[in-house]
Structure 1
Amino acid sequence: MMKKVFRDRAMSMWLLGLIHLLSLLHCSLFTFAILDPLDFLALQSIKKALDDLPGSNYLSSWDFTSDPCNFAGVYCDGDKVIALNLGDPRAGAPGLTGRLDPAIGKLSALAEFTVVPGRIFGALPSTFSQLKNLRFLAVSRNFISGDIPATLGELRGLQTLDLSYNQFTGSIPWSIGSMPALSNVILCHNRLSGSVPLFVSKTLTRLDLKHNDLSGAFSPTSLPPSLQYLSLSWNRFSGPVDRLLTRLNRLNYLDLSLNRFTGKIPNSVFSFPITNLQLQRNLFSGLVEPADQVTITTVDLSYNRLSGQISPKLSTVHNLYLNSNRFTGQVPGSFVDRLLDANIQTLYLQHNFLTGIEINPAAEIPPSSSLCLQYNCLVPPIQTACPLRDGNQKTRPTSQCMKWKG
């Protein structure tokens, strides 16, 4: 009798244990059933290839005994991952280290992929080309190296490509230029070389290629007229850009500085809706002739080969850098008037061939304004502080001034 009681109790406990186990399995299966198995496995591979930098606890939330759609930076629609933001978005927080695993390409519904600044290294996986729904790709401010995969050109719906502040080398694949939906291309601060592809997107508004080693010339149709932001500074581009810039009349930011561009600066750029015009340290030549009074706040044309007289229509610019060119003749009186009224903050005219300026030697330059006239074909009638890099010589040698007289 006692044996039967013990046997029944044991059976009951075994049944209760089985029920509890099945309940746990059911809950576990229910938890993971909301995410596609391929996406689940891909997230596991992505985590294994990464580590938190000291001070970051981003990956600690990736506990695969819970719902991955609740992980930090993971966003789902139904059973698919549609956005993946790797890292801690808090300002100043450390990022991640490690590599980007090729399993990212298994997230078939992914539309957005970003990585916060950190120390992720290695190559950008070519499997990104499998993400046919990708619209936004940003992995800036890390240590990703190697070539930009040409297969990215297969992402026909990609709108933003931001690979800035990394260590990419090689050329910009021509397939990138053929992507029809691009609106933002940000590849600045890398080690890219070669020429720039022809961009066909009619919606491209931002192109930032500064601080690379790119070279070559631009044809008048190299860039679409939809551009609003263009930065090409700190490269080795060459050739004329007058016909190209004439087409880009929607620009609200333009920086072509520190290149080898040649030819004339088109008059139309002075009427663009921009606040800063940066064309310094190139090989531009010829006259500077704005059609109307210039409303741009800062115009930097320094260190070029520009010549002729200075146009009075530039006197409305608050910060004007014309130094280290070949300008000749008198400084227009409108510059003096606006300078003394503190409407000009910076007027750099040094290292030209100017022959005169009508300003009273007793005039006081407002404390908020700077004027530099040294090393022209005139004795500066007023002593003002100039940048130290421009030396101590106040006037050009007469032999040089005779050559440029007129």
Structure 2
Amino acid sequence: MRKLQVLDLSGNAFTGSIPYSITRVKQLMRLGLSDNLLSGKIPDWWYELQQLHVLDLSGNNLSGSIPPVRSPPSLFWLRLCRNNHSGELPESLRNCNTLLALDIGDNKINGTIPEWFGESLLSLQKLRMTSNMIHGKVPTQLCQLSNLQILDLSHNKLTGSIPSCLGSLRGLKFVKFYRWFPNYGYFSYVFTPEMELVEQGTKKRYTFNLDQVNLIDLSCNNLHGEIPNEITGLSALGALNLSWNQLSGRIPEEMGRMLQLETLDLSSNHLSGSIPLSMTSITSLSHLNLSHNNLCGPIPSTNQFGTFTDPSCFEGNPELCGKPLITDCSRAKKKDEREIEDDEHKIRLCFFEGAGVGFIVAFLATFSGLMIKKSWAYCCFRFMEEFGERTIRCCLAFMTGLNSIFRVRRN
């Protein structure tokens, strides 16, 4: 047993705590205890396994905070998801500088995303922190993780805007066809990477094809501001989910540059404007959800958009028209013209009503002033009398002049 390299007891019904006797297996490279009924805290002795490459304790009833770690020098896979871990991430986790994948999703971890992620975990390719209680902003230091291919921060309490520097993630700019984990000879053949991700609206468990997944999921947070245009430069990104936030502004016009995009979910935000025509060039797009925004104008119908026949993809946008919605664009245009005419009529009506009210108020104010001070009334009536007499004289002279002209023409 001392020379054992792989210990995989996952998918059983083991209970109790993790035994200390495991540390006797000094050559252990992979420890898999996932999907059991283990409880208690994660022991702080596991770093004694200096040959450990993979630690998978997911899917148990483990609780408490993640203990301070002194990382085994070769650890590249740490999976602690689907437990009841709480508290903040220990800063000692920055010592795991060989990590390629960190999965702590589906726990009760709070605090903020550490800035040192982008300073110490530079090898990180897959970061999954979904369904926790993490708050604060998305740190710009994450943009330094140039090899990052999966970033799942969904279902948290994140605020602020989406960092525009995410568009500089090199791991999402180029399509890769090689396996993501290092070549450990015999060990590489007995290890199957595994991660649960939401794609096309459903949770999927990825194993052998995990290395082909390129994903950013920031859904179900409280992010605001506009979608940064820089993110359209991630030409290798396969799934982008920004739904259920407070995003506003327009969909970036250059969204059509993301030619590898298969899943795009921007639903339940406050996005406005029209759907960019450039999106019709994303021929790989198979799942689209733009519902419950403030989008307007006609829905594109060419290329891949012709396959989106489910109205739920676009519902909740009162100003959108065209198939698959029942709102016809020609009718919508006539409705807009009628609304413009109604608005102009209301403006004219308000003007005349305002002028009438103003005249009445001015008349009453003047009349009241004249009644209060008789000297003003005398001067006013005298002025009106003289003005009336002069007006009558001018009119008579004008009429006399006209009669003279007509007589001359007749003669």
TM-score (norm 2): 0.61
Q: In the alignment, which of 317, 328, 350 is matched to residue 308 of structure 2?
A: 317
**Which deviations, in whole Å up to 9, do the C-alpha atoms of 1:113-147 show, x marking residues without a partner?**
111311100110112x4333210000110101110
For residues 60 and 126 of structure 1, the distance between their equivalents in structure 2, rounded to whole angstroms, comes to 18
Q: Please identify, of 155-164 and 171-180, the stretch whose mean Cα deviation from structure 2 is larger.
A: 171-180
1:148-187 alignment, distance < 5 Å: 148-178=89-119, 179-187=121-129
Once the two structures are superposed, residues 190-236 of structure 1 have per-residue CA deviations (whole angstroms, 9 ceiling, x without a partner) of 11111112221221100111111111112321351423201111001
Q: How far did residue 246 of structure 1 move?
A: 1.5
Once the two structures are superposed, residues 343-370 of structure 1 have per-residue CA deviations (whole angstroms, 9 ceiling, x without a partner) of xxxx3467xxx6547xxxxxxxxxxxxx
| CA distance in structure 1 between the aligned counterparts of 2:282 and 2:339, rounded to whole angstroms | 35
Give the Å deviation of 1:293: 5.0
Mapped contact 2:80–2:104 kept (Cα < 8 A): yes
CA distance in 1, matches of 2:325, 2:166: 34
Post-superposition shift, 1:97?
1.0
Q: 1:256 to 1:87 in 2, by over 3 A?
A: closer
Distance 2:65 2:79 in 1: 14
* Residue matched to 2:59: 117
Three-state SS of the structure 2 residue aligned to 1:236 is: coil
C-alpha contact 1:225 1:247 (8 A) present in aligned 2:
no
Q: Which structure is larger by alpha-carbon Rg, 1 or 2?
A: 2
Partner of 2:347: none
Give the letter for the 1:241 counterpart.
Answer: I
Give the deviation of 1:276 after TM superposition: 2.5
Partner SS, residue 45 of structure 2: helix
The alignment partner of 2:63 has SS state of strand
- 8 Å CA contact retained: 2:270, 2:293: yes
Give the counterpart of 1:56 among 9, 13, 20.
13
1:56 Cα deviation from its structure 2 partner? 1.9
* Residues 281, 86 of structure 1: alpha-carbon distance in 2 compared, 3 angstrom cutoff: same
TM-superposition CA deviations, 1:242-264 (whole Å, max 9, x none):
32321222111111100112222
Does the CA contact (< 8 Å) of 1:152 and 1:176 recur in 2? no
What amino acid is aligned across from residue 295 of structure 2 in structure 1?
L
C-alpha distance in 2 between matches for 1:401 and 1:117: 63
1:22 is matched with which residue?
A: none
Residue 294 of structure 2 is matched in structure 1 by: 305
Please name the residue that 2:393 is paired with. Answer: none
Corresponding residue of 2:164:
220
Map of 2:272 onto structure 1? 285
Q: Does residue 217 of structure 2 align to residue 231 of structure 1?
A: yes
Q: What SS does the aligned partner of 2:295 have?
A: strand
> Contact between 2:17 and 2:39, CA under 8 Å: does it hold in 1?
no
- Do the aligned partners of residues 356 and 115 (structure 1) sit closer, same or farther apart at CA in structure 2, a change above 3 Å counting? same
Structure with higher helix content: 2
Taking structure 1 as reference, are residues 258 and 119 closer, same or farther at Cα in structure 2, changes over 3 Å only?
same
The alpha-carbon deviation at position 160 of structure 1 amounts to: 0.1
**C-alpha distance in structure 2 between counterparts of 1:401 and 1:153, whole Å:** 65
Q: Given the alignment, which residue of 58, 74, 80 partners 1:139?
A: 80
The alignment's TM-score, normalised by the length of structure 1, stands at 0.62
Q: Is the 8 A contact 2:20 2:45 kept in 1?
A: no
Q: Partners of 1:157 and 1:275 in 2: how far apart?
A: 31
Note if contact 1:225-1:249 (Cα within 8 Å) is conserved in structure 2: no
Aligned equivalents of 2:17, 2:170: Cα separation in 1: 47
More strand by proportion, 1 or 2? 1
Instruction: Give the superposition deviation at 1:61.
Output: 11
The one-letter code of the counterpart of 1:231 is D
Q: Specify which of 44, 50, 59 is matched with residue 108 of structure 1.
A: 50
* Residue number in structure 2 paired with 1:99: 41
**How far apart, in 2, do the equivalents of 1:60 and 1:171 lie?**
29
* Consecutive unaligned residues in structure 1, runs of 5 or more: 1-30, 36-42, 44-51, 70-78, 89-93, 336-346, 358-375, 380-395
The structural deviation recorded for 1:307 is 2.2
2:85–2:108 contact (8 Å) kept in structure 1: yes
Aligned residue-pair number: 288
